[in-house]
Structure 1
Amino acid sequence: MQHIRRRHLSAAFAAWLLATSPASAESLYIEAGRLIDGVTDEVHIGQCITVDDERIAAVGPCETLPDGARRLDWSAFTVLPGLIDLHTHLADLGQSADLAAPIKASPAETALVGARNARVTLAAGFTSVRDVGTYRGLTDVALRNAIDRGDVPGPRMWVAGAYITIPGGGGELNGVVPNEQLPPDMRLGVASTPEEAAKKASFLLDRGADFIKAIATGAVLAIGTEPGAPELTVDQLRAIVRIAHARGKRVTAHAHGAEGIKNAIRAGVDSIEHASLADEEALQLAKRHGTWLAMDIYNGTWIDDVGTKEGWPAEYLRKNRETTDAQRAAFRRAVELGIKIGYATDAGVYPHGLNARQFRNMVKYGMTPMQAIRSATGHAAEEMGRGDIGAIVPGRYADFIAVKADPLADITVLERIDHVMKGGVLVR
């Protein structure tokens, strides 16, 4: 009897192992009805994509099925590169009325929540994300590594490790306990001087961060800070940039206020998150320096609607109202000026998996549908310095989405993805 039970348990374990192991990519020949490649404004008809292992081997007119390849008929769909979100918080609990929620959850629980967030993000068609910080420092590194090993499903992640912030600044968990009593993993990036800022940047890069996130102004969703107020100084920001760039890594700066934006650009950062209160001088400076803007112009609506219903702190709601319309006006002006803009949502403030809701706002506030799509594909890859994602061209990862309707006629169809492929493996 015990022998039979052991045999059954072994069979069950084998089945579980098979189900949880990462699927292997195969040779595919994908027939696309319409193809948007992510790097041009053309819509290609009658194209087939050859996939070998994880990568795109060829793109061209459909011909004879290559030897050993399996045909995948997506002739009824518009096929696009897998989408990229440049501002997410997968490895975190998500926003709520409970200020203490991040400290109540252990690092292990936070990582498990992150695994769920990663799964729904991938299913929504976002095959790559830049994850720009977590209160539980380095939890994002662990989640990225788990996805890379195939332990959990999720998008390709590039992570910040933690926020580099002044004491009590926009990257701290303020208003819960005295900040010096917070767990050490919640203060990995706190810095008071340029020397400390440089050390924190080196610390995070040494422990697996892919880039650095610096808090240049106060935050909407941080107690006791004001979005318009500069925080990290120009000297601190320069120290961070110097360390990161010397190691071939990029720096993005959380900056709502105009002075903080200008400080960050003058310090040499590669991109600005939010840019809510950017004035004309700040926008012209961004254009002149080639600095990318990552502007989350949907989630102000979510904060106002859901935050009000759920009783989020009045300070949050007030600051959100003061920045939402201003940010959308700055976005429209940035589009007019031809400033480089990447797709960035702040998912985690609103539920993961709803990342595509921002497309409609980008079109409403000045972009064409194709510009919005390219902001989340080829342009987003360019902002991250990645030549392996974001486009349907040979050599890149075989990351695709497919939708039955035409996103150029109705951008909201990207909120309802029919098929997702990551690295040549069909996700849905």
Structure 2
Amino acid sequence: MRSLFTALLSLSMMQAFAQKTYVQCGKLIDGSGAAPRQSVTVVIEGRNITAIQNGYTTGGAGDVTIDLKDKTVLPGLIDCHVHIESQNSRTAFADGFRLSDADIAYRAAGYARKTLQAGFTTVRDLGGSGVNISLRNAINQGLTEGPNILTAGLPISATGGHMDESVGLREDIRPAPGPEKGVANGREELVKAVRYQFKKGADVIKIASTGGVLDLSKDGSGAQFTVDEIKAVVETAKDYGMRVACHAHGAEGIKRAILGGVSSIEHGTYMDNEGMNLAKQHGTWYVPTIIAGKSVADSAKLPGFFPPVIARKAAEVGPVIQQTFGKAYKAGVKIAFGTDAGVYAHGKNALEFQYMVEAGMPAMAAIQSATANAAELLGISNERGTVATGKIADLIAVDGDPLQDVKLLSDVSFVMKEGKVYKKK
């Protein structure tokens, strides 16, 4: 009896494993930059793409057919710069003192669902409280829904830098943090800070080589690490199998970060011609976050939304990012899609496409920045970023042609992540 039961169970498992999904695509933009294909079927087994067939095909009994013949299908989108734990608001500053890790986790789970429903099946989270690591794990374990997350855990900056949460506050409220809390100076402390994040489960390291906008420091553009300090971070991260993303607004801090060997410059507001040339020479990626700049500039106009020092910086920095992006794209700097989600409302990530196109990037190149290019920056090209045989089945669909109207990417009608459908309307 036991052997019969075992045989039946085995057969049942084999049948489940053998089930295929046939996604019939009216138009397929595969993310590589190649011309769209008309009337194709993507065949999926489990979580992987096993074939891309011309024409519309269906399987046998037990297989699943998904009819998207009236839609354009693309790879799941990738946002290389999000903050999945938080969302900017009038109460954001006070929330830092009021919310517990549990409060943050519940909110983060909601933001993750919104992000996935918006068609972003992979994100790189560039810093939070550490709850981001737990959220990544919970999504991977199927305990909650959200995108595939690569996270930096706690970001790293210098004393008085962008991630030093004690700036502007009494020490009895926010004691001066050290390397274990992401604030470090000099090679020795920075090596220790990187190792702490590896120990806690980070996938990537995020540093700040300049000040920032949404902190209480007076200057958002001054350089705050030496080249040697940045090299210490990059070398240590490399030893632990991690890449380094660098928040940088000012021209000098951008150049130091590139010379120090970071993988990407985030924001890059005041990147000058020398910085662009260095980025090209070193193969450094640029992640512009135009939407974040526009969002903070708009919020700065609302009385009382930000403390005065932040409002001033937001008004100065915000409007510049789109202009810099346009120059960098035309200069040939490598671009990967990123939005700084959390600085604006989660789920609206696709607005970035519109701003990229406004600045002179063709729609196909903008899409590629959020698919093949983003996957290359994150080191996941072997799994994600394009619709190709052997890749993970991350697919989205929109009505109409986003190459003619890139705004359509803000209204995703179908989302599949790792072979499972999360949205279909």
CA contact (8 A) 2:393 2:419 kept: yes
How far apart, in 2, do the equivalents of 1:408 and 1:30 lie?
21
Number of positions where the alignment pairs a residue of Structure 1 with one of Structure 2? 404
Amino acid at match of 2:228: D
1:186 positional shift: 10
* DSSP-derived class of the 1:28 partner: strand
How far apart, in 1, do the equivalents of 2:400 and 2:135 lie?
34
Q: Which residue of 2 aligns with 1:322?
A: 316
How far apart, in 2, do the equivalents of 1:186 and 1:152 lie?
31
How far apart, in 2, do the equivalents of 1:93 and 1:335 lie?
29
How far apart, in 2, do the equivalents of 1:79 and 1:185 lie?
47
1:151 positional shift: 0.7
Change (3 A) 1:280 1:324: same
Deviations 1:321-361 (A, max 9, x none): 22233322221111112211111101101010011111110
1:157 and 2:113 matched: no
1:124 and 2:118 matched: yes
Amino acid at match of 1:150: G
CA contact (8 A) 1:93 1:110 kept: no
1:247 positional shift: 2.2
How far apart, in 1, do the equivalents of 2:243 and 2:106 lie?
28
1:96 positional shift: 3.4
Deviations 1:212-257 (A, max 9, x none): 0011000011111422201122221111101111222100111110
CA contact (8 A) 1:81 1:391 kept: yes
* Structure 2: segments with no counterpart, 5+ residues: 1-16
Q: TM-score with structure 1 length normalisation? A: 0.90
Q: Which residue of 2 aligns with 1:252?
A: 245
Deviations 1:286-343 (A, max 9, x none): 0110000000112222222234325212222221222233322221111112211111
* Structure 1: segments with no counterpart, 5+ residues: 1-23
CA contact (8 A) 1:25 1:425 kept: no
Per mean C-alpha deviation after superposition, the further-off stretch among 382-391 and 284-293 is 382-391
Change (3 A) 1:179 1:110: farther
Amino acid at match of 2:370: A
Q: Which of 94, 102, 107 is matched with 1:100 structurally?
A: 94
How far apart, in 2, do the equivalents of 1:26 and 1:91 lie?
36
Q: Which residue of 2 aligns with 1:390?
A: 385
CA contact (8 A) 2:157 2:207 kept: yes
How far apart, in 2, do the equivalents of 1:201 and 1:34 lie?
44
Amino acid at match of 2:136: R
Q: Which of 136, 144, 149 is matched with 2:136 structurally?
A: 144
* DSSP-derived class of the 1:308 partner: coil
How far apart, in 1, do the equivalents of 2:300 and 2:350 lie?
20
1:40 positional shift: 2.6
1:97 positional shift: 4.9
How far apart, in 1, do the equivalents of 2:19 and 2:115 lie?
23
1:241 and 2:234 matched: yes
Q: Which residue of 1 aligns with 2:3?
A: none
How far apart, in 2, do the equivalents of 1:225 and 1:192 lie?
20
Deviations 1:155-190 (A, max 9, x none): 000000111111221112245633574377996111
* DSSP-derived class of the 1:418 partner: strand
Amino acid at match of 1:171: M
Amino acid at match of 1:293: Y
* DSSP-derived class of the 1:232 partner: coil
CA contact (8 A) 1:36 1:44 kept: yes
1:69 and 2:63 matched: yes
1:270 and 2:269 matched: no
How far apart, in 2, do the equivalents of 1:221 and 1:154 lie?
26
1:191 and 2:184 matched: yes
1:263 positional shift: 0.5
CA contact (8 A) 2:87 2:346 kept: no
Change (3 A) 1:412 1:63: closer
* DSSP-derived class of the 2:112 partner: helix
How far apart, in 1, do the equivalents of 2:64 and 2:231 lie?
52
Q: Which of 375, 398, 403 is matched with 1:403 structurally?
A: 398
How far apart, in 2, do the equivalents of 1:110 and 1:186 lie?
23
Amino acid at match of 1:156: N
